[in-house]
Amino acid sequence: MHDTEHDRQPTTDGVPFSPSTTRGPGLGDLELPSLGRFLRQVRESGTDSRTGRPISRETAAYRVGLSAAYLTQIERDLRTPTPQALQLLTTGYGLTAAQTRHITELRAPPVPAPPIDTMRARVENNPAIRRRLRGLGRAGVLAAYFDPFWNLLAANPEMHQTFPGLEQTGNLALWYFSREARERLPEWDLEAAAVVSALKATLGVHRRAVGARAVLAQLQHDSDFRRLWTHTTDIAYHRDRATPLRIHVAGQVRELDIETSVISDVHSHTRLFQAVTVALTTT
């Protein structure tokens, strides 16, 4: 569930953005990504070697070269850090390249996403997409189109046969946290953590979109998802091609090489998910 490089339109649909827009009815205590929350989570995930406790705001501010008051405002989403302050935090916290990209996107205005019905209609009414799905299927490639929140737009039969229940679930992220996925994925724990890392990245970009609030509202009912969403600071934009997805299908374990590319233009933003079998093991 990770993307190749893509282009986006940095617009806010003409609606002023504020931190409160990353919450919504029905979200409970799970919140969409924000810059302040993520930086606080990163800080608290570290351990102070002197006390054995999470690093305090005062200690972190001193180490990175900011005032504690300034860091407090940033973590509470009351103040947008300057590029210089963000660089100090990036370096001081030792952020990965993916985490650095994530906080840069969280500092920028959120990117809108078209409604699911609009995107699904565009895909269903595009004969070229249907031909491509059929052609990939004949070549033995599982293929599907998804929106930014992993809502299913269209898929070939090979995709549905390998991911049973996906058509009913209607969302790939939700499928990963279904009973079906837990039974079929031998390395479900690793795959679930990877899904959350990828979902944090995309929901951060589109944090003000209705689709972002909707998928989080559904996933929050799963206790494993809640734990991972609350505690992980990992962010991922790409799937490691050296790590195939292992899935039980018809008495065999298939190893799938997955590639996800983003197709972006001024009208839509869709993902093309493709997977080929690279190994088979009889169970």
Burial class of residue 171 (count of CB atoms within 10 Å of its CB; 0-12, 13-18, 19+): buried
pLDDT (mean) for 226-249: 94
The model's pTM is 0.86
pLDDT (mean) for 160-188: 97
pLDDT of residue 268: 61
| 8 A C-beta contact, residue 115 and residue 211 | yes
pLDDT digits (tens, 9 = 90+) for 49-63: 788 888 999 999 999
pLDDT for residue 237 is more than 90:
yes
pLDDT band of 283, cuts 50, 70, 90? low
State in words which class domain 19-107 has: mainly alpha
pLDDT of residue 23: 41
pLDDT of residue 280: 82
Measure the CA–CA gap between 191 and 126, rounded to whole angstroms. Answer: 32
DSSP string over 165-228: THHHH-BHHHHHTSHHHHHH-TTHHHHHHHHHHHHHHHHHHTTTSHHHHHHHHHHTTSHHHHHH
pLDDT for residue 13 is more than 60:
no
% the chain with pLDDT above 70: 88
pLDDT digits (tens, 9 = 90+) for 204-216: 999 999 999 999 9
pLDDT of residue 48: 78
Query: Range(s) for CATH 3.30.450 in the chain?
Result: 116-191+238-282
Q: Domain 116-191+238-282 maps to which CATH number in 1.10.10, 3.20.20, 2.30.30, 3.30.450?
A: 3.30.450
